[in-house]
Amino acid sequence: MTVPRWLDERLALERFRAKYLGKPFPVHSTFFLGEIALFCFVILVATGLYLALFYEPSAQLLQGHGAVPAAYASTLLIDSHPFGALMRRIHHWTAHLMIAAVVLHLLRIYFTASYRKPREVNWLLGLGLLGATLAASFAGYLLPFDQFSVTATAIGYGIARSVPWVGSTLADLVFAGQFPSSATVPRFFAYHVVWAPLALAGLIAGHLVIVLKQKHTEMRRAGAQPEAAEGAYIHGIPLWPEQVALMGVLFLVMLGVLAALAAFLPVHPSAFYGPPQPVTPEVKPDWYLLWVYGALRLIPGGLSFKLFGATIGSEVFGAMLVPGILSLVIVLVPWLDRGPSSLFYTEPPMASPLRLALGLATITLFLALSLAGFGAELGLSVPVLWVITVVAPVAVGWAAHALARGRLGPLGGAPG
Amino acid sequence: MDRRRFANWSLKAGIVAAIAALLPGVVTLRGRSRTSATRGVEPGDRLVFALGGNAGEVITEGSFTQNEAVLAYPEGKSDNHENLAMVCKLDPARVQPPTDMAGTAHGIVAYSAICTHLGCTVRFSEEPMEQAPFPHIHCPCHGAMFDPQHGSTVLGGPAPRPLPQLPIKLNAKGEVIVAGPFSAPIGVKA
Ligand code: HEM
Ligand code: FES
């Protein structure tokens, strides 16, 4: 592509084109996970802008409409528009896909040790993105203000309240007072359509600028130059036109898949759940929070102690200590891993048996806790679930370690 | 003090002062609802059905049969979720301490309907279970179980403490009347 002379004389675009449009992009299917997350954000903004045209952020009861809250009524109104229900469902399905893509992206970075120096900052920004995505989703969940939404938010409120020492103040600050009450919906609307998207946009921008500056890692090929070799260069396809073409195809495929999901699988049918009621339905959280739910069910009520005047009870263990410790360890990964850093190359997942084992064990722990969320349905008692939760991660980690070492020799350091 | 140090120092002091000035603003995030302040239960309130076709109607001794329970609000105070109570009618002979016996009448006992674990609305069931071969209260969220015949002590699951009891009495017309405040703070306690 060449920049027209007229434009170039005025904006000096040729320099920009030469510097950035030829950027090499190493190709691997897992390198698209971050891009999928980015496109999800774009689709969420687009569909969200449409929803915001009709949505009414108010829990006020409407007179003469069976006294349902305005927010709920406006959600049903959106559903009744031509394409309105489709828009809502695409928005909801895309939120699921975005969380899944961010999580898988994180796993890709982890298992290829791409978080090592100098990329620790982007590891942290990435985790910030995961947190902001979950927060956006949590706030969005309340908005339709049906029975299901209100139950989910009420549990979040309960968890905030149970924080030792500062719980009730914290819950009041975040939920704008007691929940359920009428002040929470406008507050969550502001979080959802202003604060969270701004935070996400800022974090995404920082994340991408850093990738641009630090360059992408690539798979080490046979006969690749050692790290510091003069004139080492990245193997990949140029941004324009090859990478842009791939991105365009990916975006359109995603849009097609999401539209098909939305058309055939009615996610979050508000009319079916009905307006909020004082009773709590038999519900489970979405897949990405099942592990917290499982942990809450596993920890018995008797487990509690007093500390500086606060009671550290089962809900603190289940909803704060377990997720808190897991999150802290994940944040610290780049500093816990003392392996040699690589500026250019990803490391094969099997190259470090310990990293592989810990990663798979952690995934298994998340899955086992999620399984505990289905204990009652599966007829598994709490003690049995405890055994699974402890034994499965250890077994998986040990097996992975043994396999990786067996394949790679006792030192496990040879490239795979 | 030279000019450079003065400029440096005043910049830092300015930043600290600006942040300190913003802090009180954080408190306003606590929010206030536009509707009139919600009221708690008071002795003398009549209990009314919270749900269903007869929502708002006064609950009387004859409204339900033994081993049945209904969700109730104090009359006119349904806008405060913390007022939600579960009124159970049990076999009078089997209601025992630690239930506050003075706050029961003819086997009718009332508890807060808000789970002490994370605040879901609890349910009543007379179906005998392994842990509770008698009518019991359970929570659909994480499976807490309470024994309404014994002051709703925790039978199992993650709930940290019993459901607070709401003392009641019956008036001459057989209506269920609040006799005192809840025996403990409602819902999740930090
Ligand atoms: C600028 C960006 C966004 C805007 C303007 C926006 C707007 C909205 C609006 C108005 C609603 C309420 C209407 C409804 O519930 O159907 C909503 C719901 C929702 N939003 Fe967003 N949103 C945005 C981004 C996001 C993001 C980044 C996520 C999460 C990753 C997300 C997840 C959700 C969820 C889970 C719901 C509930 C959907 C449902 O009703 O089934 N949104 N959004
Ligand atoms: S909220 Fe009742 S058991 Fe968790």
| Token digits of residue A413 | 């350091």
What mean pLDDT is reported for chain A?
Answer: 88
- Which pLDDT score is estimated for A355? 92
Fill in the amino acid letter for B88. C
Q: Are A210 and A125 in contact (CB under 8 A)?
A: yes
Q: List % helix, strand, coil for chain A (3-state, nearest 5).
A: 65, 5, 30
> Residues A116-131: what's their mean pLDDT?
94
| Token digits of residue A178 | 């007691």
Nearest chain A residue to B52 by CA: give it.
Answer: A277
| Token digits of residue A92 | 């909801």
B34-178 has CATH 3.20.20.370 classification: no
Among the partner residues A162, A175, A300, nearest to B188 by beta-carbon distance: A162
Fill in the amino acid letter for B40. G
> Residue B53: CB partners within 8 Å, gap ≥ 6?
none
Q: Are A303 and A108 in contact (CB under 8 A)?
A: no
Give the CA count within 13 Å in the CB-facing half-sphere of A159.
20
Residue A377 three-state SS: helix
Neighbours of B187 (CB within 10 A): 24
Which phi and psi (to 5°) does residue B103 adopt? -95, 15
Q: Does B137 touch chain A (CB under 8 A)?
A: no
> Residues A349-376: what's their mean pLDDT?
91
B54 Cα distance to chain centroid: 22
Neighbours of B186 (CB within 10 A): 22
Task: Identify the weakest region by mean pLDDT among A44-58, A242-256, A286-300, A336-350.
Answer: A336-350
> Residues B67-88: what's their mean pLDDT?
85
- pLDDT tens for A71-109 read 999 999 999 998 999 999 999 999 999 999 999 999 999
Q: pLDDT band for position A226 (50/70/90)?
A: low
- pLDDT tens for B113-155 read 999 888 889 998 887 777 777 888 988 888 888 988 888 888 8
Nearest chain A residue to B86 by CA: give it.
Answer: A279
Fill in the amino acid letter for A134. L
Query: In this predicted complex, what is the ipTM?
Result: 0.83
Q: pLDDT band for position A27 (50/70/90)?
A: confident
A-chain residues near B140 (CB < 8 A): 280-283
Among the partner residues B26, B32, B144, nearest to A301 by beta-carbon distance: B144
Q: Is the CB of A49 under 6 A from ligand 1?
A: yes
Crossing angle of helices A322-331 and A120-142, rounded to 10°: 150
Q: pLDDT band for position B34 (50/70/90)?
A: low
Crossing angle of helices A290-298 and A322-331, rounded to 10°: 130
Residue B57 has pLDDT above 70, yes or no: yes
Cβ separation of A176 and B31 shorter than 8 Å?
yes
Query: Considering chain B, what percentage of its residues have pLDDT values greater than 90?
Result: 17
- Which pLDDT score is estimated for B104? 85
Nearest chain A residue to B29 by CA: give it.
Answer: A173
Cβ separation of A164 and B26 shorter than 8 Å?
no
Cα A217 to Cα A31: distance, rounded to the nearest angstrom: 10
Identify the nearest ligand to the CA of A99 by its number.
1
Cα B17 to Cα B187: distance, rounded to the nearest angstrom: 39
Q: pLDDT band for position A65 (50/70/90)?
A: low
> Residues A379-408: what's their mean pLDDT?
89
Crossing angle of helices A353-372 and A84-111, rounded to 10°: 140
Q: Are A23 and A238 in contact (CB under 8 A)?
A: yes
- Kindly tell me the sign of the dihedral angle through the C-alpha atoms of A45, A46, A52, A55: negative
Residue A354 has pLDDT above 60, yes or no: yes
Q: What is the pTM of this model?
A: 0.88
Cα A108 to Cα A34: distance, rounded to the nearest angstrom: 10
Among the partner residues A182, A277, A314, nearest to B35 by beta-carbon distance: A182
- pLDDT tens for B106-117 read 888 999 999 988
DSSP assignments along chain B, one per residue = --HHHHHHHHHHHHHHHHHHHHHHHHHGGG---SSPPP----TTPBEEE-SSTTTTSBPBGGGS-TTEEEEEEETT-TT-GGG-EEEEE--GGG--TTS-GGG-BTTEEEEE-B-TTT-PBPEEE-S--SS-SS-EEE-TTT--EEEGGGTTEEEESS--SPPPB--EEE-TT-BEEE-S--SS--S---
> Residues A245-262: what's their mean pLDDT?
96
Q: pLDDT band for position B19 (50/70/90)?
A: very high
> Residue A22: CB partners within 8 Å, gap ≥ 6?
A238, A239, A240
Q: pLDDT band for position A416 (50/70/90)?
A: very low
- Which pLDDT score is estimated for B41? 84
- pLDDT tens for A128-168 read 999 999 999 999 999 999 999 999 999 999 888 888 888 88
| Token digits of residue A120 | 């620790």
Q: Are A101 and A36 in contact (CB under 8 A)?
A: yes
DSSP structure class, residue A226: P
| Token digits of residue A294 | 């499982």
Residue A415 has pLDDT above 50, yes or no: no
- What domains sit in chain A, N to C, each tagged with a CATH number? 27-218+235-289 (1.20.810.10)
- Which pLDDT score is estimated for A15? 84
Cα B123 to Cα B115: distance, rounded to the nearest angstrom: 10
Q: Does B142 touch chain A (CB under 8 A)?
A: yes
Fill in the amino acid letter for A297. R
Checking DSSP bridges between strand B68-74 and strand B47-49, what pairing results, if any? antiparallel
> Residues A27-35: what's their mean pLDDT?
90
* Residue in A89, A59, A56 with CA at minimum distance from that of residue A261: A89
Cα A280 to Cα A274: distance, rounded to the nearest angstrom: 12
Residue A252 has pLDDT above 80, yes or no: yes
Residue with more model confidence, A140 or A233 = A140
Residue A319 has pLDDT above 90, yes or no: no
The alpha carbon of A269 and the centre of ligand 1 are apart by a number of angstroms equal to 14
Residue with more model confidence, A232 or A246 = A246
- Which pLDDT score is estimated for A227? 58
DSSP assignments along A142-193, one per residue = HTT-SHHHHHHHHHHHHHHHTSTTTHHHHHHHHHTSSSSSTTHHHHHHHIII
Q: Are B116 and B161 in contact (CB under 8 A)?
A: yes
- Which pLDDT score is estimated for A414? 46
Residue with more model confidence, A38 or B159 = A38
Cα A340 to Cα A173: distance, rounded to the nearest angstrom: 44
Q: pLDDT band for position A232 (50/70/90)?
A: low
- Which pLDDT score is estimated for A3? 78
> Residues A169-188: what's their mean pLDDT?
88
Cβ separation of A314 and B188 shorter than 8 Å?
no
DSSP structure class, residue A21: I
Residue A171 has pLDDT above 70, yes or no: yes
Residue B36 has pLDDT above 60, yes or no: no
Domain range annotation of chain B = 1-30, 34-178
